[in-house]
Amino acid sequence: MLEIKNRIEAAKANLRKAENAKTVAETQKATAEQSLEEVKAKMTEAGVTPETIQDEISKLEEKLQADLSKVERLIPTDI
C-alpha cells in the first residue's frame, strides 16, 4: 500500500511540474507572438515585408559599399 501511495504522490508531483511547464511555455509563446507582431509593424513602417526584407537589406548593403568606396576615393592618401 505504501508503494501505491508513493506512486500516486510522484504522479501528482509530475503533473504539477507538467502544468508549470505548460504555463511557462504558454507565456513564452505569447511573448514571442507579441514580439513578432511588433517586428512586423516596424517592418511595415519601413516599407518592407518579410518577403522583401532580404532584397532591401542587400540593396542597402550595396549602397553602403558604394558610398564607402566614394568616401575612400575622396580622402587624400599622399599626405
* Segment 22-68, tens digit of pLDDT: 999 999 999 999 999 999 999 999 999 989 999 999 999 999 999 99
CA angle 52, 45, 29 (to 5 degrees): 80
Residue 79 has what pLDDT? 76
Query: 12: which 3 cell numbers?
Result: 501528482
**pTM reported for the whole predicted model:** 0.62
Residue 78 has what pLDDT? 80
Residue 77 has what pLDDT? 84
Residue 13, CA distances (Å) to 1, 8, 17, 18 in order: 19, 9, 6, 9
